[in-house]
A and B are shown apart, each in its own frame.
Chain A
Amino acid sequence: MEEKIYTKDREIVIPGDLLAEGMDFLPAGKAFRESDKIYASTIGLVSIKGRVIKVIPLAGRYMPKVGDVIIGKVTGIGFSGWQVDIDSPYNADLNIGEASQGYIDLGKTDMSKFFDIGDYLLGEIISITESKFVKLTAKNRPYRRLRGGNVIQVSPSKIPRIIGKQGSMINTLKKNSDCDVIVGQNGLVWIKGTPEKEAVVAQAIKLIETESHKSGLTDRIKTMLEKIKSAQPSEPAKEEVKEGGQ
């Protein structure tokens, strides 16, 4: 039986592209096997490590994963929890038990005191069923309701760029802007400083999203953020206090 790789590292592939042939190879990411051949299933970048042929997707809506930190928007209040839009084909549920550390008397408590419709929150995905029902937690630090600031949406496939290697890019953003920046794996980004600073940071992030391939990006980002330095300093980000205790 033939064993051959038909692609190379960092090649762009489209759905149906033949990547490799042979049972020893392992498909990963958006690659799949059909009999003894491995194909790409989405438009993506090939990454070959040993016998693992991986396709990193370059497009696609956010598909929830356990452990992902996400930013979501509350869209519904139920009897014992909230429905949260995480900008995904799938909505997420936050149960009251995962929203607060203290005891909550469902009979006496106004749920909207914790999270109201339209509120943004920072949380983590704790479980996903086979039919992709998603459960969140927002109970422990740093998860919380997000107050003030600006929230923007970027393509989830660009999130690694915005964070950067070992957080280098996001640290550049925070340091040079005097803003707090939190990136959700689902493509939502929260920025907190003053409105003008938040606007500039948002522009910088959009630049990363659209021009990440061009060189000198970090310098351009720093130049963009220079404008902020001359403005007023932000209020220090307040330590979020949960209603009802802690």
Chain B
Amino acid sequence: MSINLVKDFMSALVSKGTREDNRGLFDYRDIQIEVNPLERACGSAKVTIGDTQVLVGVKMDVGEPFPDTPEEGILMVNAELSPLASPDFESGPPKFNSIELARVVDRGIRESHCIDTSKLCIKPKEKVWMVFVDIYPLNASGNLLDAAAIGAIVALQNAVFPVYDEAEEKVKYKEFTKEKLPIERTPVMATFAKINGTIFLDPSYREEEVMDARISITTTEKGLLAAMQKGGKGTFTFDEVAMLVDKAFEIGDNTRKLV
């Protein structure tokens, strides 16, 4: 098997504690957040991390609850990896699975009890609010996960209920109230990648192409771990995982200041 020239280069760089764009191992690229850019969404955010650009929109509707949670609202997170955002999304095995992206972001929100779903009940067993979080990457240039997760929490924090006509039992999709979603916690995700033994935060496009493995860790304020996901064909040691959990809180607290 051939030696991967670019991987060797990256590996050598990060093992010396530096990266192609001069970042430190645990620095993010520049993060920019635009709040509510979308007119028709209940809440929305456009997040850029370096060159990665993600649009997240929250839409709400009323429907039947799940039978095992008759008095709780429903959260659904979806991601659309359109080939618009990357030459890699068209043909061949996808570099990043849209389902995994959605589910990892979902887990962070759901498991942290970010939204108090008990406050989303309109009529037990019959009508509850459904909260849809739709993630649309516009430019996939490394670490879609963190960009999507930041976008999701910002969109949710800024989301307002649409008007619900109780008499007609219909949602007025074009009219919004001033009532915000009941948000209890602020989960944020930190994604790390590993190349030949060196671990670093926020992989760029090129770093992602050659990384051995990644791990995403979602934390909330007050030191709660909400979700974790390891991906890629490489491995992490137990010590590395423990170290990264600590790092994730440190980084998460900083990210929380932005959202």
Contact = CB atoms under 8 A, between A and B. Distances in A.
Tell me, yes or no, whether A and B come into direct contact in the complex with CB atoms closer than 8 A.
Answer: yes
B13 A196 contact: yes
B5 interface: yes
Interface in B149-195: none
B22 interface: yes
A32 B12 CA distance: 49
Interface residues of B, number: 16
A231 B5 CA distance: 22
Given A196-B18, A199-B20, A202-B20, A149 B5 contact: yes
Contacts of A198: 9
Contacts of A150: 5-6, 9
A interface: dominant SS: mixed
Contacts of B237: none
A119 interface: yes
A109 interface: no
A147 B8 CA distance: 10
26 contacts: A112-B2, A116-B1, A117-B2, A118-B2, A118-B3, A118-B4, A118-B5, A119-B5, A147-B5, A148-B5, A148-B8, A148-B9, A149-B9, A150-B5, A150-B6, A150-B9, A151-B6, A199-B13, A199-B18, A199-B19, A199-B20, A199-B22, A202-B20, A203-B20, A203-B21, A203-B22
Sorted nearest first, the 10 A-B pairs with minimum C-beta distance are: A116-B2, A195-B12, A118-B2, A150-B9, A195-B13, A119-B2, A199-B20, A118-B4, A120-B5, A195-B9
B27 to A, nearest CB: 15
Interface in A135-179: 146-151
A32 B205 CA distance: 38
B16 interface: yes
Interface string A93-123: 0000000000000000000100011111000
A70 B99 CA distance: 39
A146 B3 CA distance: 11
Nearest to A202: B20
A138 to B, nearest CB: 15
Contacts of A118: 1-5
Contacts of A116: 1-2
A149 B12 CA distance: 10
Contacts of A74: 2
A60 to B, nearest CB: 16
A192 B8 CA distance: 12
A198 B21 CA distance: 12
B interface: dominant SS: loop
Contacts of A147: 5
A112 B22 CA distance: 35
Contacts of B2: 74, 112, 116-119
Interface string B1-35: 11111101100110010111110000000000000
A118 B3 CA distance: 7
A150 B19 CA distance: 13
A112 B1 CA distance: 8
A147 B73 CA distance: 58
Nearest to B1: A116
A195 B1 contact: no
B205 to A, nearest CB: 11
A43 B3 CA distance: 39
Contacts of B12: 195
Contacts of A151: 5-6
Contacts of B22: 199, 203
B212 to A, nearest CB: 16
Given A118-B5, A196-B16, 8 more contacts: A74-B2, A116-B1, A147-B5, A149-B5, A195-B9, A195-B13, A199-B19, A203-B20
A198 B16 CA distance: 13
Contacts of A119: 2, 5
Contacts of A195: 9, 12-13, 16
Nearest to A118: B2
Interface in B104-163: none
Nearest to B8: A148
A146 to B, nearest CB: 7
A199 B12 CA distance: 11
A149 B9 CA distance: 6
B176 to A, nearest CB: 41
A146 B8 CA distance: 13
A82 to B, nearest CB: 12
